Structures are given as C-alpha cells and as structure tokens.
Amino acid sequence: MTCPVARPLAEALVAGGLPILEVTLRTPNALKVMEEMAKVTGAIVGSGTVRNATHMKQSVDAGCRFMVSPGISPRILDAADDIGIPLLPGIATPSEAMTAAERGYSFLKFFPAEANGGAPVLKAFASPLPDITFCPTGGIDPVKAKIYPGLPNVICVGGSWIMPADALASGDWGRIERWPVRLLRCGASFGICLRIGDPHGVIPGKREPLFFNAGIANGGSAFAE
C-alpha cells in the first residue's frame, strides 16, 4: 500500500463502521501508512507482525494505539510491559495460551487458525481455558468464518476475504465504505476484523478489551496492510 492511498482508505473504513486499522510491519511504507491513517478522525491504528522492542517503539512513534504479534516469547512479553499501548499476542497451543495468561493476557490471537486445526481446536480450548478469548486468523474463508462465531471463546474473526481487492486497487472508496453493511447482511454480525492482503484480525486486549464498536455485536474492527 502506498501512503497516498492510506488516508482515503482509512476514511472509508471508519465511515463504514470499521475503525480499528492494523498495519503490518512487512513493507517499507508501513510506518508512514500508520502515520497517515492515524490522522483520520475516529481511526484506531495499530501495528501488526510486531516481533521485538524496536518494532514496539516504532509503533508508538507512528501513533499506534495497539500492537499484534504473530507469536509469543519471553522477550516480547517483557518488552510489552514497558510499552504504554496493548499487545495482542499470537498463540497456537494451550501451553502458549497459558504462558500468555500467566502474564495477564486474556485476549489472544489464534494463528494460523486453519493450519492449526481451526474451529474444532478452539472449541476444545474452551473448557480448559475458560478465561481466555480468541481472535482466529489465518486461512479463514467466508464459509469457515461463519463457524467460529458460534464458539463461546471467539470474539471476532479475521480474513483477507473481507476486503474487495479490486475496490482497493481502483480506489473505489464508496464501495469500501458500503462493504461492512454487506458483510453484516451475510451473517457476520458477530464482529468483523480485516487485514488487507494478509489474513489476520484482532480485537486488542491485555488484561481487558480496549476497543469495541457499539454498532456491531461483540465488537467490530478492520485492519489494513
């Protein structure tokens, strides 16, 4: 994504009811995109693919209000304790979830969801880990996305299928703004998470949820790369 596109995209997503925007640290323009999106009224910008303390400092300097990591490690959890914005850690196993919970995290990203067994695995997590809520991302398509909301420990779902790529490529901001309404009509009223170009999503939360959209049951959010 180029910087000139960042601001109008953020404006369209916010106007459409998806104000939480995650920008992944995977491209040279990522930090500049965060800065531009953060200028949009109502936008809550965060950083994704955060892997170390340097990424965290860069995120804060760019105006981010939350961070998302693909996994957990002692160092990244230690670094997050010294940062003033919340982290959503990624986990794939009960042991990793327990490690994060011991450090005070009750909202976690389940990633990559489908490669790790999908909804049946998260369903199995619910009983032994009743105090942890998940946002599954990775390999989830529109059909599978309708399954996850029925689980008691899922607050939102993420996937690249949410955003029409052709609308982004053509700069059709009106269509992007209207897209959330279409998603809700398709049965995604549980809450929407979006990352453009890379399946992922998040309701950020360390110790307690930070951001919710009252217009969508259980919280709605959007993510952009």
Domain count, the chain: 1
Predicted local confidence at residue 124, as pLDDT: 98
Residue at 96 is within a domain: yes
Residue at 169 is within a domain: yes
Single out the catalytic residue among 11, 22, 114, 225: 22
Pair type for strands 205-206 and 208-209: antiparallel
Predicted local confidence at residue 197, as pLDDT: 31
Q: 71 with 91: CB under 8 angstroms? A: yes
Beta strands in 43-91 (DSSP E): 44-48, 66-68, 87-88, 90-91
Tokens of 78: 């230690």
* pLDDT over threshold 60, residue 168: yes
* pLDDT over threshold 60, residue 213: no
Q: Which among 100, 92, 2, 18 has a CA at the least distance from the CA of 10? A: 18
Average pLDDT score over residue span 124-147: 90
Whether 225 is catalytic is: no
Residue at 59 is within a domain: yes
Residue at 177 is within a domain: yes
Identify the CATH number of the domain in which residue 28 sits: 3.20.20.70
Whether 109 is catalytic is: yes
Single out the catalytic residue among 35, 36, 109, 225: 109
> pTM of this prediction?
0.80
* pLDDT over threshold 90, residue 62: yes
How sure is the predictor about 167, in pLDDT bands with cuts at 50, 70 and 90? Answer: confident
Residue at 212 is within a domain: no
Average pLDDT score over residue span 14-28: 85
Residue at 90 is within a domain: yes
Range of the domain at 37: 3-203
Residue at 9 is within a domain: yes
Residue at 211 is within a domain: no
